[in-house]
Amino acid sequence: VALLLLWALCNAIRVNGEESNGRCDHKLRFNARPHSVSIQEFGAIGDGKTLNTIAFRNAIFYLKSFADKGGAQLYVPPGRWLTGSFNLTSHLTLFLEKDAIILGSQDPSHWGIVEPLPSYGRGIELPGRRYRSLVNGYMLRDVVITGDNGTIDGQGSVWWEWFTSHSLNYTRPHLVEFVSSEYVLVSNISLLNAPAYNIHPVYCRFVFVFLKFISTSISCSNVHIHNISVYAPPESPYTVGIVPGKFSKSFFNIPVSDSSDNICIEDCNISMGHDAIAFKSGWDEYGIAYGRPTTIAHVRRVDLRSSTGSSLAFGSEMSGGISDILVEEVHLYDSLTGIEFRTTIGRGGYIKEIMISDVDLLNVNTSFAAIGDCGSHPDDKFDPDAFPVLEKITLQNIIGTNITIAGNFKGIEESPFTFICLSNISLSINSTSLSAWQCSYVSGFSESVFPEPCPELMNSSTSSCGILMLELQFYNIIL
């Protein structure tokens, strides 16, 4: 074991250097599809008024026949292509040309109704079922959504109005959702005005989301999100950019993350009404019973803005567990909270082994928060003795400008938050701040932190932080 740890140390992740060795360095490469058709060949009309749901469904049904012939591409040319919900198929590329816009219908009957996710037990917003997402994938493999910066626009304003006025009968839909899928790549597109979440990979493996397309080699189940722009206006209620979660023990499973693993989110620009990126893994007794953690995720080189939530959030639905997350080289700005860990009594589960490094904060009210009384319960069946665990969190190499509160750490008396490691952090606190740090039921270590943190986080020994960093580096290397 000592030799293995020494080897890991010599080859460790260099969060300040050029090498990372995180999940985003395990590149996916998707070969060009040998077959391609245009959505126009199936009668679609891109005038922004004609409903093209049947055209999308027929085209994808036709392309399904090429799955064993190298797969196929559905080409969406410039135009405004109005549609309701449709399902993708395996070995498919959905390509949106420049100035191509897939528009979500504002008629809820065009979206369909589906059962709630088993790890939630009910809709997030309302008991019972939920609306189907606009673009869906269920138990798929080898799926790409990309383009020349085309757009998927959910036209969510009507959904936001219905949500605010309590006029909905079911939980709002998302723009893109993959369930129990693997080898998924989303890149080179823009996502606008989602009714709720923009990208929601759940129970997935190997999901990659990029803003800019990068050719990568495929060697394991992954979800990769790369070079995408995601936007909803500040007033949009509880809209979320990427929710990765409920991933299996494989590669990235996104709910802007939900019970998924081996996730890469890279080179993205996300500006949302609520959370920009949120890691989740199930709700109370349903998440505990389903037992699917979100694990092994890598986020880097992203710009995140969250008007009323957190730029980077963990929980509060985390009952399946969240662990082994590496975040580096991120810019968080104009947000209520920069980095927040959320849980409450009755959740069970854990949030642990999280490393966040090289962060630039600008105009953020609260830089860091860990809250032990956040979030509601789906019903009254939760176990009041199911105490969540929050431990082994490292925050390092962080600079903040125009910050109101440095940190708010509010743990749980029966299950305090432990092993919080703060290192090389400098925050410029504005004149409106009354107290830079607020702490209760928390313990940890700090070194080179300004302003000076609360006594609970000032253990003089930083060796435990070093051990934690080594554990995370070793874990990423062997995987």
What pLDDT, in 10s, does the model give residues 232-241? 888 898 888 8
Residues 342 and 373: their CA atoms lie apart, in Å, by 8
H or E element in which residue 375 lies = none
- Supply 290's token pair: 């389903």
Categorize the per-residue pLDDT at 214 as very low, low, confident or very high, splitting at 50, 70 and 90.
very low
User: Does the residue 4 lie in any domain?
Assistant: no
Higher pLDDT, 132 or 254: 132
pTM of the model: 0.87
pLDDT of 15: 36
User: Does the residue 254 lie in any domain?
Assistant: yes
Q: What is the mean pLDDT of residues 395-418?
A: 97
In three-state secondary structure terms, 154 is coil
In three-state secondary structure terms, 458 is coil
In tens, the pLDDT along 267-287 reads 999 999 999 999 999 999 999
Q: What is the mean pLDDT of residues 361-367?
A: 97
Categorize the per-residue pLDDT at 25 as very low, low, confident or very high, splitting at 50, 70 and 90.
confident
Torsion of CA 471, 209, 246, 118, to 10 degrees: 180
Range of the domain at 351: 40-207+218-475
In tens, the pLDDT along 298-319 reads 999 999 999 999 999 999 999 9
User: Does the residue 232 lie in any domain?
Assistant: yes
Residues 449 and 445: their CA atoms lie apart, in Å, by 10
In contact, 225 and 186? CB cutoff 8 Å: yes
Task: Supply the CATH number for residue 68's domain.
Answer: 2.160.20.10
pLDDT of 204: 83
In contact, 306 and 336? CB cutoff 8 Å: yes
Q: Tell me: pLDDT of 175 over 80.
A: yes
Q: Tell me: pLDDT of 221 over 80.
A: no
Q: Tell me: pLDDT of 210 over 80.
A: no
Comparing 165-179, 222-236, 419-433, the range with the smallest average pLDDT is: 222-236
pLDDT of 128: 96
pLDDT of 26: 63
Q: Tell me: pLDDT of 66 over 70.
A: yes
Which residue is associated with the tokens 């040309």? 97
In tens, the pLDDT along 86-119 reads 999 999 999 999 999 999 999 999 999 999 999 9
Residues 228 and 160: their CA atoms lie apart, in Å, by 23
Q: What is the mean pLDDT of residues 192-221?
A: 65
User: Does the residue 81 lie in any domain?
Assistant: yes
In contact, 385 and 347? CB cutoff 8 Å: no
On the 0-12 / 13-18 / 19+ scale of CB atoms within 10 A, 209 is buried
Q: Tell me: pLDDT of 8 over 50.
A: no
The two beta strands, 113-114 and 130-131, are: antiparallel
Residues 140 and 251: their CA atoms lie apart, in Å, by 14
Report the length, in residues, of the chain: 479
Q: Which residues contact 61 (CB under 8 A, 6 or more apart)?
A: 89
Categorize the per-residue pLDDT at 124 as very low, low, confident or very high, splitting at 50, 70 and 90.
very high
Categorize the per-residue pLDDT at 479 as very low, low, confident or very high, splitting at 50, 70 and 90.
very low
User: Does the residue 25 lie in any domain?
Assistant: no
User: Does the residue 275 lie in any domain?
Assistant: yes
pLDDT of 465: 64
Q: Tell me: pLDDT of 190 over 50.
A: yes
Domain count, the chain: 1
pLDDT of 466: 59
In tens, the pLDDT along 320-335 reads 999 999 999 999 999 9
> 310, 307, 294: which is closest to 374 by C-alpha?
310
pLDDT of 30: 65
Query: What is the average pLDDT score of the chain?
Result: 86
In tens, the pLDDT along 144-158 reads 999 999 999 999 999
DSSP state of 268: -
Share of the chain above pLDDT 90, in %: 72
> 380, 239, 352: which is closest to 293 by C-alpha?
352
